Amino acid sequence: MTTTALSIESGELAAPPPDVGGVRAYKGIPYAAPPVGPLRWRSPQPVAPWKGVRSADAFAPNSLQGVVFDDIDPTVCGVSEDCLYLNVWTPASPGSSDRLPVMVWIHGGGFVVGSGSEPRYDGTRLAKRGVLVVTLNHRLNALGFLAHPELTRESGHGASGNYGMLDLVAALRWVRRNIAVFGGDPDMVTIAGESAGSEAVSALMASPLAKGLFARAIGESGAMFATPSRSPAPLAKVEADGIAFMRKVGAANLKDLREAPAEAILEAAPGLGYRPIVDGRFLPKSPAAIFAAREQSDVPLMAGWNKDEGFNFTLLQGEAKNRPYAGLVREIFGARTDDALRFYPGGSPEAEEASARALGGDLTIIHSTWAWIEAQKTTGKAEVFRFRFDRAPLTPQRWFGDRDSKSAGAFHAGEILYVFDNLHAFPWLISDADRALARLASSYWVNFVKTGDPNGPNLPLWPSFRSGLVMKLDTPASAALEDGRERQVFLRDAAAQTQSAAFLRRSQGAGASSSRTS
């Protein structure tokens, strides 16, 4: 049976013509009502039904954002506060009874930029191998993660601040209700993401609101687990920040804040200041605590990071570029500075540069991802597969501004083009070895989406991480014993001490405040 339109819950959707491989790309499908006006900073609401046949041949605008990272251009599709749209790449014909596995991809960008329409996320090549690919937009920055006491009171749940995460839950619920129309199986959904998207995947595994909405999870370089320099913020702290934000915008109350131009909200928001929190609803407690209590969605997990994450996140950059390295380490580790310097030694400019890269990568990306994998391995029963992406793409000079591309190594986000098999998306200097690795990596990802196991015919064996083996994705790819564990255990212990000290300070502060007001 062949039709020219699909019937989804909100109306008729035009079926775009297939490409030469038979894949159709449905673009700009609303999964929730526009979060504007009175719906700003509210839970996502249902889409209003439309009449007639809606076109699905163009991406919708990106979530409101500015330019923050060199590899993300938000201007391609424009930006808007009206941003809750998704895209579906499917090899199934309209009217097909296929029930194919689904990968729902959550973009990166630090929760302040990014979209599902970035060329590197194009799902065509993966769809040709028999999976549906869904990409989406969600609310970002202050529009997605502002908390405020007034918002908490009006919510009916005693929570505020995780609107961008509630968008993701709404998108997964939409997928569950509608994806069969596109040939997808609602019981075989994999959530996947990179960087902030990977953090979101870890949070969705922890959230009670997302239970039953996915069957597997993939995380690339990021998790919402604590490091010595950062931990998920509690609602009370972020509410206080929200009060200061309201004053900065010049609003007297929540009504004024909702009526303020979206551009004024964006202008008042710090560059990387708003992100998911422990709000009491989406996350009743920290993801680490939820995993420790065995309350997570216990699904197969494939996760890891890139070998040279620290190239992008070295401590010696920005305002800290010319500061003494040992002083930066002391600000983070305090009484444990000597222990930290044993793992990240100084002593010479070369040693300090290398250690600043290693420590920056660990604090920003690697340790939180390691802690997430360890938590699932320890308290979950489902299978765990861990990877490290070791391939150093040959990027042209000036790709990283004034920094030497030859020193980038296997940098943050470098794996995305390989796992989507989209090496053509960026003007990198591609070799046959890169093409071979893209075929291999994308095969592992497709197999995991299909079965919960990356292994398949004619692929190097990827052992379970329960055996202690990590898959090194390079040319050639091979499994090896985990390395650097002692360093990560030190960071875990240091993070626990930091959180304990912060809890004590908050408790003392709460006690003092109570005595003053009683």
Q: What is the CATH number of the domain that holds 258?
A: 3.40.50.1820
| Nearest C-alpha neighbor of 437 from the set 380, 369, 497, 389 | 389
Q: Determine the distance from the C-alpha atom of residue 394 to the mean position of all C-alpha atoms in its chain, rounded to a whole number.
A: 25
pLDDT at 374: 98
Structural domains in the chain (count): 1
Amino acid at 251: A
322 domain residue, yes or no: no
How do 100-106 and 184-194 pair as beta strands?
parallel
Classify residue 102 as exposed, middle or buried by CB count within 10 Å of its CB (0-12, 13-18, 19+). Answer: buried
360 domain residue, yes or no: no
412 belongs to the catalytic site: yes
How do 11-14 and 5-8 pair as beta strands?
antiparallel
Q: Alpha-carbon distance 367 to 370, whole Å? A: 5
407 belongs to the catalytic site: no
Average pLDDT per 10 consecutive residues for the chain, totaling 518 residues: 79 96 97 98 98 97 82 79 98 94 97 95 98 98 97 96 98 98 98 98 98 98 97 95 95 95 90 89 98 98 98 93 94 96 96 97 98 98 98 92 91 98 96 98 98 97 97 97 97 88 48 30
237 domain residue, yes or no: yes
Residue of 115, 117, 160, 195 marked active site? 195
How do 216-220 and 184-194 pair as beta strands?
parallel
41 domain residue, yes or no: yes
Q: Alpha-carbon distance 95 to 106, whole Å? A: 27
Place of tokens 């002083």: 327
518 domain residue, yes or no: no
pLDDT at 402: 85
Q: Alpha-carbon distance 332 to 323, whole Å? A: 14
User: Under DSSP, is residue 471 helix (H, G, I), strand (E, B) or coil?
Assistant: strand
- DSSP secondary-structure letter at 157? S
User: Across-strand partners of 164?
Assistant: none
Domain hosting 398: range is 5-315+369-485
User: Would you list the DSSP string of 214-237?
Assistant: -SEEEEES--S--BTTB-PPBHHH
User: Across-strand partners of 26?
Assistant: 88
320 domain residue, yes or no: no
309 belongs to the catalytic site: yes
Residue of 309, 352, 374, 415 marked active site? 309
Q: Alpha-carbon distance 5 to 13, whole Å? A: 5
329 domain residue, yes or no: no
Each residue's pLDDT tens digit, 343-376: 999 999 999 999 999 999 999 999 999 999 999 9
332 domain residue, yes or no: no
H/E run at residue 489:
helix 485-517
Residue of 63, 412, 442, 443 marked active site? 412
Q: Alpha-carbon distance 470 to 236, whole Å? A: 39
pLDDT at 270: 74
Q: 185, 161 in Cβ contact below 8 A?
A: no
